[in-house]
Structure 1
Amino acid sequence: MRELLPSDIDGMFELDSNPEVHKYLGKCPITSKAQAQENINFIREQYHKRGIARFATIEKSSGEFIGWSGLKFNTGDNEALGSKRDFYDIGYRFIPRYWGKGYATESSLTILDFGFKDLKLDIIYGAAEIKNIGSNKVLQKIGLNYIEQFLFEGEMINWYELKNEDYAKTMS
């Protein structure tokens, strides 16, 4: 994983223009490389404003951009989920041909380690539409605990959390 770069535009366009990728993300895939560039710029701005954002995920064997994974600080200014505000959430998004290979789990475990050990976060949250079986399985597999369901933009969302103290117990 590495910082997302402007040169990742082709990969970001392939990722975010795919309707299957956006099936559980509001069903609004992008339609232009200009939009992909806006997404990259938004993420890069988060690095500078908040010191953390999603990271480009590169397949070791091929060197190919396969998607992104990382933490995001949600403040509530059009980023948060409903009434959820001021929290760090773990997220991942991969090009479909890389699904089912363990990349979401592998990268998320690395991100949890970074968040708790390097950033010293108290809690990391995760959210997934209840119908998104794959994403729910990843969040549970990496140790996040189901807390509740809530309605967001017409969809039911599962809300998860993992506390640093609980993470530390599982790592010892």
Structure 2
Amino acid sequence: MKPIITTERLIIRELQPDDAAGIFRLDSNPAVHEYLGKSPITTIEEAQNAISFIRKQYETNGIGRWAMVLKDTNEFIGWTGLKLINTEEVNGHRNFYDLGYRLVQEHWRKGYGFEAAKACLDYAFSVMKLEKVYANAEKGNTGSNTILQKLQPVHTESFWDEGVETIWFEFQNNKIGS
């Protein structure tokens, strides 16, 4: 599988059907879903369906979340990437690109989230030529909020999403952190 992005430690590529075991390992963990609605998946079929859904986004929108694997071992450690949000409104926005990432718990606090997020923003601005990218995280999710703040957003604000205080981040071309 040809990488979309490579970093010092990561290969970022399209999700493939054979990533189902990795998606299941990731999304069946309640700790991973602490700030994602607390609804972890319970079957490998749900992981397969998630991959199919994302692969349809590649076809429909030309973009979607990507697999994140370690360069040295080819271990699936999560997903990252951009998603076109065009069917729902989030914080008053519609038709925008959302930056996201999710890591298997054993790989938290190793810098992979920041490394992947920065690479995806670089891709958004240099390859896709986007002017803005957005992200959001529940206020209590200090891990994600730390990563997103380190990327030096040009604007942040709080909003309420389904009764949960959430931080909204706006990133502009040529203005991301190092």
Normalised to the residue count of structure 1, the TM-score between the two structures is 0.92
Distance 2:109 2:175 in 1: 27
Cα root mean square deviation, aligned:
1.4
Q: Secondary structure at the match of 2:167?
A: strand
Deviation at 1:144, TM superposition (A): 2.0
Counterpart in the other structure of 1:94: 103
1:149 aligns with 2:138: no
**Match of residue 56, structure 1, among 57, 67, 70:** 67
**Match of residue 66, structure 1, among 37, 62, 77:** 77
Distance 1:165 1:18 in 2: 36
Distance 1:33 1:8 in 2: 10
Distance 2:37 2:154 in 1: 24
Deviation at 1:134, TM superposition (A): 0.5
1:40-87 deviations in whole A, cap 9, x for unaligned? 01111111111111110001122100000100010134xx43533111
**Match of residue 124, structure 1, among 117, 133, 146:** 133
Deviation at 1:17, TM superposition (A): 0.6
Distance 1:148 1:107 in 2: 23
Distance 1:30 1:6 in 2: 17
Asked if the contact 1:72–1:89 (Cα under 8 Å) also holds between the matched residues in 2, the reply is yes
1:81-116 deviations in whole A, cap 9, x for unaligned? 353311101100000001111100111111011100
Q: What amino acid is the match of 1:112?
A: L
Distance 2:49 2:92 in 1: 26
Distance 2:83 2:143 in 1: 20
Asked if the contact 1:54–1:70 (Cα under 8 Å) also holds between the matched residues in 2, the reply is yes
Distance 2:90 2:42 in 1: 24
- Higher deviation after alignment, 85-94 or 142-151: 142-151
Asked if the contact 2:153–2:175 (Cα under 8 Å) also holds between the matched residues in 1, the reply is no
Where does structure 2 lack aligned partners over 5 or more consecutive residues? 1-11
Distance 2:123 2:164 in 1: 30
Counterpart in the other structure of 2:28: 17
1:18-49 deviations in whole A, cap 9, x for unaligned? 10000000001011111111110111111111
| Identical positions, percent | 46
Deviation at 1:164, TM superposition (A): 1.1
Asked if the contact 1:148–1:159 (Cα under 8 Å) also holds between the matched residues in 2, the reply is yes
Distance 1:31 1:86 in 2: 31
Asked if the contact 1:146–1:161 (Cα under 8 Å) also holds between the matched residues in 2, the reply is yes
Q: What amino acid is the match of 2:59?
A: H
* Greater fraction helix: 1
Asked if the contact 2:125–2:174 (Cα under 8 Å) also holds between the matched residues in 1, the reply is no
Query: For residues 154 and 163 of structure 1, do their structure 2 counterparts lie closer, same or farther at Cα, with a shift above 3 Å needed?
Result: same
1:26 aligns with 2:43: no
- Higher deviation after alignment, 125-134 or 57-66: 57-66
Distance 1:127 1:39 in 2: 21
- Count of aligned positions: 167
Counterpart in the other structure of 2:115: 106
